[in-house]
Structure 1
Amino acid sequence: MRDTRESRLLLVLLIATAFALITVDIRGGEDSPLDSARQAAASAFGPVENGVASAVDPIGNAVGAVRDSGRRHDRISKLERENAALKAKLGSDARTQGRAGELDKMLKTAGAGQYGIKGAQVIAVGAAQGFSWTVTIDAGRQDGLTRDMTVLNGDGLVGRVTTVGPSTATVLLANDPDFTVGTRMETTAELGFATGQGDRPLRVQLLNGKATVKKGDRLVTFGSSADKPFVPGVPVGEVVRVDPSNGALTRTLQVRPYVGFTKLDIVGVVVQPPRKDPRDKVLPPPVKPRPTPTVTVTATPSANGSADPSGEPTDSADGATPAAGEPTPDASPTRS
């Protein structure tokens, strides 16, 4: 629109009309013509507005839900991280307690045998070393370890040191087929040699083919004069089978080792041998067999001489039991 005199006059007229309408609306209240017009407009456009709102609200709700789901996802992720950390802590505490128990048991074994030991942890298994039954421990030359030292844990003989590095060492386990150790029986002191058989029991050959051996007998290491490669008195295992001798000069035994070679963790390397042979002091106390309860049935004899298992007396042939002091019907009189 061009800025002319007529246009300016029209603008002033429109402004004056607007002020007049506002004044009339304020003075008239709810009965004013503008209020009636406003209500008519609301009646006409209200359904349209509600329809638009109904169409727009789900979209807004969806946007809000997406925004809230992101917050919930972050909260769930945080909770999952906290739970994982808590589980790791609990697992670590349980593992620490288990190791503490193993260490305490090993120290008791070393104390019983008067062995000076250096504690170590298994850090690798033999799968990376030629598939032999060996483990690597985190102690080496700088810890005072040398070749052919005895390795034990709280259960008994683990093996012997074969190679030594500055901070690690390799241990040949007692169940390796190349492993051999001198043994001595607990009570009879019969000597022999134990050889590993992998995941099977140890094979022990006694020097005395006529030795008396039974299932459950226990063996310890025999040792040597130089205490290498084995110190004396370390528990080896117990007999689970005695093979027939068949007149041979030696006696073959199958011995279950005390040590679980597939679950080694904390071990001790004997760096100082005992002053004297501990003999059988390192072996745990023998387990006493529990007595088996037996049931005894007592039979009570009846008046006619038969036994009633229930303990009740049985009636005589005539259906009555004689009273005390009365003779039986077939009793013969006696003469003085």
Structure 2
Amino acid sequence: MLLIATAFALITVDIRGGQESPVDGARQAAAAVFGPVENGVAAAVDPVGNAIGAVRDSGERHTRIAALEKENAALKAKLGSDDRNRNRVRELDSMLKTAGAGQYGIKGAEVIAIGAAQGFSWTVTIDIGARDGVQRDMTVLNGSGLVGRVTTVGPSTSTVLLANDPDFTVGTRMEESDELGFATGQGDRPLLVQLLNGKAKVKKGDRLVTFGSQADKPFVPGVPVGEVVRVDPAGGGLTRNVYVRPYVGFTKLDIVGVVVQAPRTDPRDMVLPQKPKPAPTVTVTATPPAPDGGQPGQQMGGQAPVGPATGRVERKPGQPAQRPAAPPADQQAGQPDADQPDQNQQPQDQGATP
């Protein structure tokens, strides 16, 4: 209690004294001593104060962050949409090239549903129907090849049975041999093709197109189907089985075309993509060295090469004529020198012994 009373007394005296307070000197001395300590404590607790301020302003900052996140999401959606649009443009361009190569009149469509909703295991729904001129049993294709055929037509939508469905069958023709067959879907496995000729020669990599139907329904001719990936051994039966990988990816369909007008003539193999050209092979021919270590095409002893037709000694301009090497001793007897007259025909006065 005594300390409290003393403190109140000092405070009263200091207030009444004003600038001439008797405790002013003591207050200045205390400030000089404890001021640095207060600054250090203030610096230490500054983050705490900032955090309190941040909590107080967190509502406004949260609003700004939410707005930025919304803008980022919009930008990402736009970028994703641009990428998708570019892919769709490429698909449309490829489909138009396929239709142009086969002279097919098509109606472009977009796949809007996929699955078994219509009662089939491998079907898609497209966004065009009877109002667009679509009819049942029309061929459906895309830039890669055969997609399927139209099975159900509504006013503004249609159902397409895909070529890999087990209930799907299409007549096929081999690219080069013209062997005919029937392709049947097997879900996510390669198509099964039964060739009508049990002895048909077929190999891996051979390609097939649609053979076509009467009145071009349900299939127009010349649409690419796929390429052979496996061939069953010929067993002497009436038919032969081959397995074909389809060109179309049935799990990622987007832009397709319904053939509403068949070609005037069978395009046959014109719609198939061009085969890749094989890489050129480099052939290196090694020239064997001449006998005894000489260079190819050179005679030993510095002699010039002998012409192949005449046997003459060939020499370069300015080079003195050189006589060919003498034949072996066992071949010299009875053979006159090519550059000297026969010794038996020389006059007696030119070195002949009397």
1:229, 1:43 → 2: CA distance? 107
- CA-CA distance at 1:235 after TM superposition: 1.0
**Which residue is equivalent to 2:301?**
323
SS at match of 2:302: coil
**Which residue is equivalent to 1:10?**
none
Question: Match for 1:298: what amino acid?
Answer: T
- CA-CA distance at 1:38 after TM superposition: 3.0
Give the aligned length.
295
Question: Match for 2:248: what amino acid?
Answer: V
**Which residue is equivalent to 1:135?**
124
2:48, 2:268 → 1: CA distance? 86
TM-score by length of 1: 0.75
Equivalent in 18, 38, 43 of residue 24 of structure 2: 38
1:86 and 2:64 matched: no
**Which residue is equivalent to 2:137?**
148
- CA-CA distance at 1:225 after TM superposition: 2.1
Equivalent in 227, 235, 243 of residue 216 of structure 2: 227
- On the 8 A contact 2:288/2:296 being kept in 1, the answer is no
Mark the CA change 1:61 to 1:255 in structure 2 (over 3 Å): closer, same or farther. closer
Equivalent in 72, 83, 102 of residue 113 of structure 1: 102
1:195, 1:159 → 2: CA distance? 12
Equivalent in 103, 125, 138 of residue 114 of structure 2: 125
SS at match of 1:181: strand
- CA-CA distance at 1:236 after TM superposition: 0.9
1:278, 1:322 → 2: CA distance? 68
**Which residue is equivalent to 1:6?**
none
**Which residue is equivalent to 1:176?**
165
**Which residue is equivalent to 2:92?**
103
1:196 and 2:185 matched: yes
1:292 and 2:281 matched: yes
1:239, 1:272 → 2: CA distance? 29
**Which residue is equivalent to 1:4?**
none
- CA-CA distance at 1:254 after TM superposition: 1.5
- CA-CA distance at 1:137 after TM superposition: 1.4
Query: 1:120-155 deviations in whole A, cap 9, x for unaligned?
Result: 111222154557111111222222222111100011
Greater mean alpha carbon deviation, residues 41-50 or residues 162-171: 41-50
**Which residue is equivalent to 1:274?**
263
1:208, 1:279 → 2: CA distance? 20
**Which residue is equivalent to 1:157?**
146
Question: Match for 2:82: what amino acid?
Answer: D
1:210 and 2:196 matched: no
Mark the CA change 1:56 to 1:303 in structure 2 (over 3 Å): closer, same or farther. closer
SS at match of 1:166: coil
2:227, 2:264 → 1: CA distance? 26
Mark the CA change 1:220 to 1:64 in structure 2 (over 3 Å): closer, same or farther. same
Greater mean alpha carbon deviation, residues 255-264 or residues 55-64: 55-64
Equivalent in 44, 60, 72 of residue 49 of structure 2: 60
SS at match of 2:166: coil
SS at match of 1:300: coil
Greater mean alpha carbon deviation, residues 60-69 or residues 88-97: 60-69
Question: Match for 1:40: what amino acid?
Answer: A
1:99, 1:58 → 2: CA distance? 54
Mark the CA change 1:196 to 1:60 in structure 2 (over 3 Å): closer, same or farther. same
2:219, 2:101 → 1: CA distance? 16
Instruction: Give 5+ residue unaligned stretches, structure 1.
Output: 1-17, 26-32, 306-310, 314-320
1:216, 1:117 → 2: CA distance? 29
Taking the TM superposition and a 5 Å limit, the aligned residue runs for 1:245-284 are 245-284=234-273
TM-score by length of 2: 0.72
- CA-CA distance at 1:294 after TM superposition: 4.1
Taking the TM superposition and a 5 Å limit, the aligned residue runs for 1:16-35 are 33-34=20-21
- CA-CA distance at 1:213 after TM superposition: 2.4
2:177, 2:124 → 1: CA distance? 34
Query: 1:287-326 deviations in whole A, cap 9, x for unaligned?
Result: 2222333444332133279xxxxx899xxxxxxx963359
Query: 1:132-182 deviations in whole A, cap 9, x for unaligned?
Result: 111111222222222111100011100011122222221111111111001
Mark the CA change 1:74 to 1:224 in structure 2 (over 3 Å): closer, same or farther. same
